[in-house]
A and B are shown apart, each in its own frame.
Chain A
């Protein structure tokens, strides 16, 4: 009998990371249905696919805001007065703590590890866009622009 870890074509299995990205984009996050579909398409056990989704930090198994604000808390961002100040500011402005989403579902605030922007810190990722050399003013501008898309 084949187990979840060994069954299937190895080359097919290597599509798993990409498949999870696609499913996440289609469903918004990795819902039970999304995970089950990926598992059945690649011939893997559902638990096996979940173990992947929970290992890699870019996969989400819960609903997120339309924009995920990921503030870098790495050392180089911290040294130039970044992480804490920006998270405090964003938290107050949006009325949420790190890990929470605004009531309108627009923003989720997160603290993340090094974004490799140490020479241009402080830095923040918003979905797939990277913002560097951040100031409170720049953060305001970014939020305003993003809100502008949803008026």
Chain B
């Protein structure tokens, strides 16, 4: 029986407070890490745990830590990515609002491991409660001596502060986040160099999603072996899945990686609302290709979703029933991508606008012959040709929609109305 790890305090009264966190074993991992481990040993523990990034890309966390230069004379930084904004995703907001100390403890351990004495939280500007929770939690952590000078008598010192973003999805991309922290437009940088060698103000920088960092104290407390025993060999540990759309119980569910999609939808989310038939599922946020009802037995792990032609992404599952018009879904998602394109490169900046205008045309009953073909051609020419992965993310809903539901697109173009709703 799987016991919740990251969300285990969520049901407690005032779960966000430092008192609740400490009373339930909080900051013990920090004590252990600072007093019993050398930084390199912590990197080895995290590597052995198999922890992979939870922000979308799934990069091994231990490797990311190990990329940071070991020379103590070099100034290094850690950034905490709370710029959650991918449609369907709401796990980071929950983590920050309900248990921010778990993340702070992870940040301090990570900073100690990579030798950073300064860390920054970058939080999405819209998350007003999240900003308040972060600030209060950091103040309380300073007051108890978990942050600041000579933490718990270990000789290790570090500072942590909050930086509020101002409304730009692209700032969730790590180099755009760094640009924004520096007070610039959030446009991605050329990689390489990666932030681990040239990051914030040109210094080596470790950027992690909040859910990734929330795992760290548990790995230190219970060991790499325990952690690696949860999930699958290539996707270890617990994962917070967000489920929304046409299911009875929407919300966050913490489950081991590798859980079948069917189990999440039918058991945890209580099945489809009004007992409608399932039509399609977005498994990992707006930018991940869709799955069909025939693929419901796919396991929710990095490698199995990749084999199914899609991605785990942020673990944001959007469920759509038989009454959903897939052209409309594509249009909604494209409005998002067109709005959020940072404007840096042409295929994404112009391409998303063109794709959106075709989709608005098809949805508005003004489709032209050849529109579906044009849409596909555009999507294929954008894919792989943009400066950052956002361009690929923007064409994924289109290409997977065309692959699975091309007849709906054709119907819109030919009959100037929707085959599903009749409108």
Residues of A within 8 A of B (CB): 10-11, 13-18, 20-21, 51-52, 55-59, 73-76, 78-80, 113-121, 125, 128-130
B85 A113 Cβ-Cβ under 8 A? yes
- The answer to whether A75 and B329 have CB atoms under 8 Å apart is yes
Which of A52, A76, A125, A130 has the largest number of chain B CB atoms within 10 A?
Answer: A76
B residues 87-131 in Cβ contact with A at 8 Å: 87-90, 92-93, 124-129
The reply to whether A56 and B166 contact each other, CB–CB distance below 8 Å, is: yes
Tell me the complex Cα distance, A51–B184, Å: 9
In the bound complex, CA of A114 to CA of B168 (Å)? 11
* Whole-angstrom distance between the Cβ of A29 and the nearest chain B Cβ: 14
The distance from the CB of B388 to the nearest CB of chain A, in whole angstroms, is 15
Indicate if the CB atoms of A58 and B87 lie closer than 8 Å.
no
Pair A116/B85 contact, Cβ less than 8 Å: yes
Please determine whether A58 and B88 come into contact, CB atoms closer than 8 angstroms. no
Which residues of chain B from 119 to 166 have any CB-CB distance to chain A below 8 Å in the complex?
124-129, 163-166
A21: chain B residues within 8 A (beta carbon): 164, 166
Closest chain B residue, CB of each to CB of A42: B183
Beta-carbon contact of A18 and B186 below 8 Å: no
Query: In the assembly, what is the distance between CA of A15 and CA of B126, in Å?
Result: 18
Closest A residue to B321 by beta carbon equals A79
Closest to A116 in B: B90
Known: A113-B335, A119-B250. A18 touches B88 (CB 8 A): no
Q: A75 to B333, Cβ gap below 8 A?
A: yes
Other-chain residue from B164, B186, B246, B336 in contact with A114 (beta carbon distance below 8 A):
B336
B4 contacts which chain A residues (CB < 8 A)? none
Give min CB distance, B176 to chain A, whole Å.
Answer: 11
B334 → chain A closest CB, angstroms = 11
Instruction: Give the CA-CA distance A14 to B88 in the complex, in Å.
Output: 30
B377 at the interface (CB under 8 A from A): no
**Contact of A59 with B87 at beta-carbon distance under 8 Å, contacts A75-B333, A79-B318 already known:** no
Interface pair B126/A125, CB less than 8 Å apart: yes
Contacting residue for B201 out of A10, A51, A120, CB 8 A: A10
8 residue pairs of the A-B complex, CB under 8 angstroms, read A17-B164, A17-B166, A59-B166, A73-B335, A75-B286, A79-B245, A116-B127, A121-B250
CB distance from A111 to the nearest CB of B (A): 9
The 8 Å CB contact of A118, one of B89, B128, B180, B328, is: B89
Q: Does B316 contact A (CB under 8 A)?
A: yes
Which residues of B have CB within 8 Å of A58? 125-126, 166-167
Closest Cβ neighbor of B342 among chain A residues:
A55
Determine which residue in A118, A120, A129 has the highest number of CB atoms from chain B within 10 A of its CB, and name it: A118
Chain B residues with CB under 8 Å of A52's CB are 183-185
In the bound complex, CA of A114 to CA of B181 (Å):
22
Q: How far is the CA of A74 from the CA of B128 in the complex (A)?
A: 19
Is B332's CB under 8 angstroms from A74's CB?
yes
List, in ascending order, chain B residues with CB within 8 A of A113's CB.
Answer: 85, 87, 169, 335-336, 339-340
Residue of A nearest to B332 (CB): A75
Q: Bound complex: CA of A74 vs CA of B245, how far in Å? A: 11
Q: Assuming A17-B163, A119-B90, what are 4 further A-B pairs, CB within 8 angstroms?
A: A51-B185, A116-B85, A118-B89, A118-B318
Q: Is the CB of B336 within 8 A of A14?
A: no
Closest chain-B Cβ to A17's Cβ sits at a distance in Å of: 5
- Per the bound structure, the CA–CA distance linking A79 and B92 in Å amounts to 22
**Docked pose: A52 CA to B182 CA in angstroms:** 12
- Closest residue on chain A to residue B129 by CB atoms: A130
> In the complex, A51→B246 CA distance in Å?
40
Question: For the complex, is B320 an interface residue (Cβ under 8 Å from A)?
Answer: yes
Chain A residue numbers with a CB within 8 Å of B34 are none
Q: Which residue of A lies closest to B250 (CB)?
A: A119
Closest Cβ–Cβ distance, residue A81 to chain B (whole Å): 11
Partner of B90, one of A73, A78, A118: A118
* Residue B379, interface by CB 8 Å: no
Residues of A within 8 A of B129 (CB): 130
Q: Is the CB of B185 within 8 A of A55?
A: yes
* B131 vs chain A, min Cβ distance (A): 9
